[in-house]
Structure 1
Amino acid sequence: MHCLSAKSMASKPGLLTDWPWKHLGSFKYVVLAPWVVHSIYSYIVKDENERDLSNLLIFPLLLWRMLHNQIWITLSRYRTAKGNSRIVDKSIEFEQVDRERNWDDQIIFNGILYYLGNMALKGGSHLPIWRTEGVIIIILLHIGPVEFLYYWLHRALHHHYLYSRYHSHHHSSVVTEPITSVIHPFAEHIAYFILFAIPMLTVANTGTGSVASFAGYITYIDFMNNMGHCNFELIPKRLFSIFPPLKYLMYTPTFHSLHHTQFRTNYSLFVPFYDYIYGTTDKSTDALYETSLHRPEESPDVVHLTHLTTPESIYHMRLGFASLASKPLTSKWYLWLMWPLTLWSMMLTWIYGKTFVVERNIFNNLKLQTWAIPKYNVQYFINWQRESINSLIEEAILEAEERGTDVLSLGLLNQGEELNGNGELYIRRHPQLKVKVVDGSSLAVAVVLNSIPEGTTKLLLNAKLSKVAYSIAFALCQRGIQVATLHMDEYNKLKANLGTEAANNLVLSKICTQKIWLVGEGLTEEEQWEAPKGTLFIPISPFPPMKLRKDCFYYHTPAMLTPNYLENVDSCENWLPRRVMSAWRIAGIVHGLEGWNVNECGNSIFNVDQVWKASLRHGFLPLKMSMDSKPF
């Protein structure tokens, strides 16, 4: 595969590489504020015959462009995770997500130019909704001059001088996502806008422009750009059979994907005609199209079954906002502005009501997928929702069985004791299951035990008594570590389950003097403030406690650092840092790697030492105290 190293060639950034508002960071949208406010104010205060609807519609057009792009991002990530019709198998990593984070800069830039054009051009304001002649002119000018000039501009950008200073930034992404299409230095975007402005300036100056022609042309450019970089083939073959010349008039995702992998072929914008004329069409174009189009859906070896947490968590998933998904889940103030969209997404998940693929990973030769149930945390605590949730989990297990999956691990609340007896419900219902159901408790116990500092002689267990809590308490008491509890009922239950010898190290504590606390998600604010200064909070459940104390330390929930050879990692698992994976998810992977032909569910727990040693052997590493665990 002939592909130049973009990183090595990008060492000479050219003039106007960075965007003018780069220093503004997340506040870059303020550069649009004066234009938007002025357009709304003008429309309100002016007389009806002087109002300019086309000026007012520029901002909704910009919002539509952002929504349009996001739809493509979600669709592309969903389809490439499933695997059917996927083009390139290589991975996307955090480096690419960070590089492509500013995909909306070109929308801001275009928006300012639209407002300027509306003000400066006589034919750019007070536009009618539709004019047929303007639409025809734009189509003809795009197919002719725009496509022709773009072809030669694109070839020029691949000359070493321009490539090393500008275009290599775009080609850093060998595996493309829809937004890869607009990841260029600022200077390139200036050139592209001048090119795409040819049809729009023509109709504006000839008085044939309309809202439909401008908005339609911009939407067409976005659609074709996103489609060409989506990394899955979606153009049906029968379309070319019905109208054979279409092959020269419309490119396909595979056509442009070859440009990113082979580099010096398939230069055309959207119309491949010029590549055929000048002999730069890649010879494998047709073959790759056929192969990708008929590629079946991938059958994973290991599935991790998770669910949505909060209403805003949909944005933090890999299928949501790429930039948010690449960081640990935290509350963002601006997501409150999106509550209408959030409510719509909640309704959609409830109506859709089916488990969906979130992401795929590769661990050596093991194919991994994460599936999500369209249920939120709060629903798991509603009695009448339990039957529905159990049905979704059961359907996912049976689907995994049908697809030949070896292991399915239950994440977050999908393994609740009250919900399904830590997964045992499904084994009882389907005793002939070949897929192994893993709740990951053994590795969660192992991670917590190995997180406790050496030399610890006493600690406090302040968590709901679960399978994990019982196992941790038993292991600690056997090691001679004093385990204290705050509540009599918890003390009695633990004592009854630990046995005589181990129970000697169990105490009921009324005064919180311990500086190591093992906590669950039910830890209250009052309880946190009772802890001594310098207390180390170690979560034993998948959900982290609120970090209220600046004079205390907080560990992550049970998790481990993944090895570098875990591929296609470009998002964070809930609130965990980059390339860190929960113990419950890792347990399923290790189960598959080791080929253990047993279930881990119900009251039984797998060998803690064995699963810990196996995890280390396969490259998973214990987490050192991170920045999150230091006083803040």
Structure 2
Amino acid sequence: MVAPLLTWPWEGLGSFKYILYGPFLAKILHARRQDDASQTIWCLHILILCALRGLMYQAWTSYSNMLFLTRNRRILKQGVDFKQIDQEWDWDNFILLQAAIATLIFYMFPFLGDLPTWNTRGFIAVVLLHIAFSEPLYYLTHKYFHGNYLFTNYHSLHHSSPVPQPFTAGHLTLFEHLVLAVVIGIPIIGACLLGIGSISMIYSYVLIFDLLRCLGHCNIEIVPHQIFESFPFIRYLLYSPTYHSLHHTEMDTNFCLFMPIYDLLGNTLNSKSWDMHKKFSIDAGKNGRVPDFVFLAHVVDMTSAMHAQFVFRSYGSMPFTTRVILLPCLPICFLVMLFMWAKSKTFLVSFYNLRGRLHQTWSVPRFGFQYFLPFAADGINKHIEEAILRADRLGVKVISLAALNKNEALNGGGTLFVNKHPNLKVKVVHGNTLTAAVILNEIPEDVTEVFLTGATSKLGRAIALYLCRKRVKVLMLTLSTERFQKIQKEAPTDYQKYLVQVTKYQAAQNCKTWIVGKWITPREQSFAPTGAHFHQFVVPPILRFRRDCTYGDLAAMKLPEDVEGLGSCEYTMDRGVVHACHAGGVVHSLEGWTHHEVGAIDVDRIDVVWKAALNHGLKPVSSVSKLIPQ
């Protein structure tokens, strides 16, 4: 039998639950039309307060996930994974619930709609009522919820989140939030019934209540230990994130709402609370664990910049798509872009653990379009070089360059940095060997002819040379006979005949396998025959113009199942899927290879890298695979 008051009444509505705020707006519009302000004021305040509360939790969660600011202040070091994000998806149900309860109270006590804006005595009363009633009531009920029945049926949901986050504070069952509504309501209703309540008192109490809840669950120690050492009594009046995190790891201690004095009186105070708080406070100025592997990414455009986990956690946990609802945020994103340009510092955006090794993603503060500006090349290379040198100083073992960060025209696929700094201990990897392997893996074994654009690029060259060895005819689109002949001479003599130079798209009118390494327009796609398939390794991906053809995604691989702490999607990739160049760096790190992978791709290593990836549990996203040995 399901425990009562476990699920939310609007659970089946999904995102449409926000329609339930509609009656508040309708009431405001109707009353204003009737010129009856007294009937609208409380509805308006409820809506404003709900919006401010939602913004409060979102702001705290964003701060908690700003790893470039908080990485050394984290209490629990593991990342927030997809499972926790999905569990806490509807964290804001309690705001809607308390809005409904507030509506009921206003109907029961109409005089509350005429509260004054300010009353100093009301602030004093609400603090005293909170200390005398709310704090002990929460403490006792919280302890009771840790009993066998209530914990199993209700409170275990809250503790199922391994890493506390501000959204975790709202991750409770309906029954628990009804109890919490009583806790938060007693001081407000009490002050109002005493005739000393005010609108500013309600706003202040509710928002400070939420602020302290977010503080306790933020997993970032921001309270200086010097305060507690200088004024020891304060440690019993205000908890810290470390104090509350101990409740999540040692659940029979630290039950208080905000004031540890009740744990002291109830003999449930964790003896390690102050020592751990001091330790985390002191360690905030020290560097944390050095990552074994770093993936150096870059922002694609302003819209995709909002896909970072520290902006909207739920949005970042899904494959990137442009959402209309985010367009109003573009002006803010533009200001952040200007700040990034001015700050000009590589920053940490995400991390995960794999086989006991810490993998981090750093981002260069440059947007995709800047890579195509000639005058920006030196500045971009400077940022990449600084990131490599920083990784080298820290003791990182492998740093992998993403997409445009390893552009051949920009830095020769990383060769520039390796030649400039021959004594680098960190291994610089472009990951294109595995990218080539993934693309080749998608080509069916019965293919006898392919059409290749971007044929003389780093990837194009490797793909052409590999395919010709498999006796596949490669139509290489290039206007440079010199570059074509240079590649052709690299092939064994018996296989050079399989490499054919073409200069027009019309040459591929009968070829159903296109490998696109250079962006092609819809008109150029029109030369492909019906039923053709477009494999691609071009950034950005080509437009899916032809309905009578099929299109492959960018080369990617799924990370092993034992990856931990992964909670964000890599651009348009599905959960747990990363670009092949990222996966190539992961394999390089797991294998412990001691060479740099820069410049031209070693065709002889394509099979080696592919087998190593499969041996470590990485899986191709495409199920079509025959050319490369399994």
Q: Tell me: CA distance 1:145–1:46, structure 2 relative to 1, closer, same or farther (3 Å).
A: same
Alpha-carbon separation, structure 1, partners of 2:230 and 2:42: 38
Give me the whole-angstrom Cα distance separating, in 1, the residues matched to 2:376 and 2:101: 51
Tell me the CA shift for residue 521 of structure 1: 6.4
SS of 1:446's partner is helix
The equivalent of 1:629 in structure 2 is none
Post-superposition CA distance 1:219-239 (Å, at most 9, x none): 212211122112232211011
Give the 3 Å change call, closer, same or farther, for CA 174–431 of structure 1 in structure 2: same
Shift of 1:581: 1.9
2:266 counterpart of 1:305 = no
SS of the residue 2:186 aligns to: helix
Q: Which residue of 1 aligns with 2:205?
A: 217
Give the gaps of 5 or more residues in structure 2: 625-630
- 1:309-342 deviation per Cα after TM superposition (whole angstroms, max 9, x unaligned): 1212233222222212221111222222433443
Structure 1 residue 561 displacement after superposition: 1.6
Structure 2 CA distance for partners of 1:141 and 1:387, relative to 1, 3 Å: farther
Note closer, same or farther for the CA distance 1:172–1:15 as it changes in structure 2 (3 Å cut).
same
Q: Of residues 314, 320, 330 in structure 2, which corresponds to 1:329?
A: 320
Whole-angstrom CA distance in 2 between matches of 1:520 and 1:82: 39
Greater shift in the superposed pair: 12-21 or 377-386: 12-21
- Corresponding residue number in structure 2 for 1:447: 438
Map Cα deviations across residues 563-601 of structure 1 (whole Å, 9 max, x no partner).
122221122111111111222112222222333232222
1:267-416 correspondence runs (5 A): 267-295=255-283, 296-298=286-288, 299-416=290-407
* Cα distance, 1:309–1:107 mapped onto 2, change above 3 Å: farther
2:563 corresponds to 1:571: no
Partners of 1:388 and 1:118 lie apart in 2 by 60
Would you say 1:244 and 2:244 are equivalent positions? no
Please give the per-residue CA displacement for 1:15-59, whole angstroms capped at 9, x wherever unaligned: 232222222222221111231343356458748x86966653443
The residue aligned with 2:558 is 561
User: What amino acid sits opposite 1:421 in the alignment?
Assistant: G
Aligned partner of 1:168 in structure 2 is 156
Root mean square deviation of aligned Cα: 2.7
Secondary structure of residue in 1 paired with 2:306: helix
Residue 513 of structure 1 corresponds to 510
Q: Is the 8 A contact 1:54 1:211 kept in 2?
A: no
Pick the aligned partner of 2:583 from 582, 586, 599. Answer: 586
| Paired letter, 1:440 | G
Q: Distance in 2 between matches of 1:464 and 1:331?
A: 31
- Counterpart in the other structure of 2:181: 193
TM superposition shift of 1:491: 7.1
Rounded to whole Å, the distance in 2 between the matches of 1:493 and 1:13 is 71
Query: Is the CA contact (8 Å cut-off) linking 2:317 and 2:568 kept in structure 1?
Result: yes
Structure 2 counterpart of 1:3: none
Counterpart AA for 2:287: E
Gaps of 5+ in 1: 1-11, 627-632
Q: How far has the Cα of 1:370 moved from its partner?
A: 0.6
Q: 1:497 to 1:220 in 2, by over 3 A?
A: same
Provide TM-score, normalisation by structure 1.
Answer: 0.90
Q: Relative to 1, partners in 2 of residues 1:383 and 1:317: Cα closer, same or farther, differing over 3 Å?
A: same
Work out the CA distance in 2 between the residues paired with 1:460 and 1:162: 65
Instruction: Note closer, same or farther for the CA distance 1:138–1:331 as it changes in structure 2 (3 Å cut).
Output: same
User: Which residue of the partner structure matches residue 498 of structure 1?
Assistant: 488
Q: Is the 8 A contact 1:520 1:543 kept in 2?
A: no
Q: Residues 137-196 of structure 1, C-alpha deviation per residue, up to 9 Å, x if partnerless?
A: 111111220011111111221222222222111111122222111101222212211221
Distance 1:342 1:615 in 2: 37
The Cα shift of 1:254 comes to: 1.6
Aligned length: 613
> Judging changes above 3 Å, is the alpha-carbon distance between structure 1 residues 68 and 192 closer, same or farther for their aligned structure 2 residues?
same
Q: Where in structure 2 are the equivalents of 1:541-552 lying within 5 Å?
A: 541=538, 543-552=540-549
Pairwise CA distance, 1:199: 1.2
Check the 8 A contact 1:520/1:544 in 2, yes or no: no
Report the CA distance shift for 1:521/1:320 in structure 2 as closer, same or farther (over 3 A).
Answer: farther
Secondary structure at the aligned position of 2:363 is classed as strand
Partner residue of 1:610 out of 595, 608, 624: 608
525-534 vs 126-135, which deviates more?
A: 525-534
Is the counterpart of residue 22 in structure 1 residue 19 in structure 2?
Answer: no
**Which residue is 1:630 aligned to?**
none
Instruction: Tell me, yes or no, if the aligned pair for 2:27 and 2:40 is still in contact at 8 Å.
Output: no
Shift of 1:511: 4.2
Q: What residue number does 2:63 align with?
A: 75
Task: Look up the equivalent residue of 2:592 and give its one-letter code.
Answer: G
Relative distance call for 1:593 and 1:511 in structure 2 (3 A) is closer
Q: Secondary structure of 1:294's match?
A: helix
Partner of 2:628: none
Task: Report the identity percentage.
Answer: 35
Deviation at 1:127, TM superposition (A): 4.1
- Write the distance in 2 (CA, Å) between the matches of 1:375 and 1:119: 54
Alignment pair present for 1:434 and 2:425: yes
Q: Distance in 2 between matches of 1:401 and 1:41?
A: 65
1:474 matched to 2:472? The reply is no
What secondary structure sits across from 2:571 in the alignment? coil
What secondary structure sits across from 1:245 in the alignment? helix
Q: Name the structure 2 match of 1:461.
A: 452
Change (3 A) 1:460 1:172: same
Aligned to 2:21: 32
CA distance in 2, matches of 1:348, 1:70: 21
Q: What's the CA shift string for 1:110-146, capped at 9, x where partnerless?
A: 3344455456534533444432111111111112200
**One-letter code aligned to 1:89:** K
2:519 maps to which residue? 522
What SS does structure 1 have at the residue aligned with 2:349?
strand
| 3-state secondary structure, aligned to 1:24 | helix
- Shift of the 253–505 alpha-carbon distance from structure 1 to 2, 3 Å rule, reads same
2:125 maps to: 137
Q: Is contact 2:451-2:508 (8 Å) kept?
A: no
Separation (CA, whole Å) in 1 of partners of 2:547 and 2:526 = 11
Provide closer, same or farther for how the CA distance between residues 132 and 618 of structure 1 changes in structure 2, counting only shifts above 3 A. same
Residue type of the partner of 1:598? H
Distance 2:8 2:385 in 1: 50
The verdict on how the C-alpha distance between 1:14 and 1:531 changes in structure 2, with shifts beyond 3 A counting, is: farther
Question: How big is the shift at 1:530?
Answer: 4.0
Q: Check 1:35–1:405 CA distance in 2 against 1; reply closer, same or farther (3 A cut).
A: same
Tell me the CA shift for residue 488 of structure 1.
4.9
After TM superposition, the structure 1 stretch with the greater mean CA deviation from structure 2, 208-217 or 365-374, is: 208-217
- For residues 80 and 381 of structure 1, the distance between their equivalents in structure 2, rounded to whole angstroms, comes to 27
Supply the distance in 2 between the matched residues of 1:471 and 1:317 (Cα, whole angstroms): 33
Distance 2:579 2:228 in 1: 47
